[in-house]
Structure 1
Amino acid sequence: MIAKSRGIVLSYMKYGDTSIIARVFTEEYGYGSYIVNSVRSQKSKKSIGHFQPFSLLDLVLYLKETRELQRISEFKSHHPLHYIHNDMTKSSVTLFLTEVFSKLLQSEQSANPDLYQFAEESIKAFDLLKKNIANFHLQFLLKVGPHLGYAIDDIENLFSSTGKLAPSNEEYHTMDLLMKEPFGTDILMSRTTRNSMLEIILNYYQHHAHISRPKSLEVLRSILN
């Protein structure tokens, strides 16, 4: 079956001499892995740069029920990103978020239009963000929770489920701002507080979604610090 969908690239790995396997969250079919043939060939007319993390693509998919891996037969940019892949801080945040988001999407094997719309609009906003970039990953992970069915928008529940009985007034206020304010809002935090907020969020997802600790966490911290 030939099908069309928009998709968000999360990662890829080399496959064979000239192909890749891309992990993509699609609007119509949810999260999945797809073979992209010959994209690494010197004769390919399409650049492998289309498959950088968080790239937004228009896809033509070749789907077959008997295959474990489906195939992307055609692709083009849906919305060009101008800054995410050229800025060291943004690219580090992107690498971290695509790793965590991939883990959270493991159960999203069918369409989730609200989640897809949130993710796509968030990526577009992040690309254009000029300030408070260091808070984006915190806000994204907090705001995406309800779209995945996790009650991470309840601050008391967020803290208690990670072993902390109650947040301090400062922690509560900071987490409330991160949840409610738009991306790019001035939310002043020390490096210690930012790391603490991230640990609470990650512990929540590790407890409720059973995800493993992200390998890119230390790289992110070294860049942001």
Structure 2
Amino acid sequence: MVVKSKGIVLGYIKYGDNSIIVRIFTEDFGFGSYIVNSIRSQKSKKSIGYFQPFSILELVMYVKESRDLQRISEFKNHIPLHHLHSDPTKNAVTLFLTEVFSKLLQSEQSPNQQLFNFAKESIQAFDTIKEGVANFHLQFLLKVGPYLGYAIDEIDHLFSSVEQTAPSSEEFQRIEALMQEDYGANIQMNRTSRSAILEAILNYYQHHAHIPRPKSLDVLRSILN
């Protein structure tokens, strides 16, 4: 069966001599892995660059229930991104978030329209903002919780669930701002505070969603520092 959907790319691995297996969160089918044949071949008419992390694509797919791995036959940009992959800081944040988001999406095997819309709009915002770039990953991970069933109803719960030390009043105010303010807001914090808040968020998701510690965390910290 031939189907169409929009999808957010979360990464890929090489497959065979010239193909890839790409992880995509689609609007109509949720999270899954798909094969793209011959995209790495010199004869390919399209670039593998379409499948950079957080790319937002329009997809034509062959779906067969008896097959574990479905196939993408056609693709094009749905929303072109202009800065996400060329800006070193935004690129590092993107690689980190796609790793964490992929793990959080493991159970999203069916459509989740609200989550898809949130992720798409967040990516679009991240591509355009000039302020608050170093805080985007914190805001994204705090704001995405409700769409996945891990809402942080009280800021204290972010720390109490994993028996961390309660935040200072300054950290409390920063977290509150991160949750409530739009992307790009000028929320002042130093790298120590930013690192502490990220640690609390990751511990929260490790505790509730049982995700592993991100491999790209050290790279992110080195770029932001």
For the aligned pair, the TM-score class normalised by the smaller chain equals: over 0.9
Residue-by-residue CA offset, 1:25-72 (whole Å, 9 max, x unaligned): 000000000000011111111110000000000001111111111111
Taking the TM superposition and a 5 Å limit, the aligned residue runs for 1:1-225 are 1-164=1-164, 166-225=166-225
CA distance in 2, matches of 1:145, 1:42: 42
Query: Alpha-carbon deviation of 1:146?
Result: 0.3
Query: Alpha-carbon deviation of 1:171?
Result: 1.6
Q: Is the 8 A contact 1:146 1:153 kept in 2?
A: no
CA distance in 2, matches of 1:138, 1:21: 29
Aligned residues: 225
Q: Is the 8 A contact 1:4 1:60 kept in 2?
A: yes
CA distance in 2, matches of 1:153, 1:175: 12
Which amino acid in 2 is paired with 1:26? T
Query: Alpha-carbon deviation of 1:166?
Result: 2.9
Which amino acid in 2 is paired with 1:20? I
Which amino acid in 1 is paired with 2:105? L
Which amino acid in 2 is paired with 1:49? G
Query: Alpha-carbon deviation of 1:153?
Result: 4.1
Q: Is the 8 A contact 1:143 1:153 kept in 2?
A: no
Shift >3 Å, 4+ stretches: none
How large is the Cα RMSD of the aligned pairs? 0.8
TM-score by length of 1: 0.98
User: Where do 5+ consecutive residues of structure 1 fail to align?
Assistant: none
CA distance in 2, matches of 1:19, 1:41: 8
User: Where do 5+ consecutive residues of structure 2 fail to align?
Assistant: none
CA distance in 2, matches of 1:81, 1:206: 31
CA distance in 2, matches of 1:61, 1:125: 28
Q: Is the 8 A contact 1:6 1:78 kept in 2?
A: yes
TM-score by length of 2: 0.98
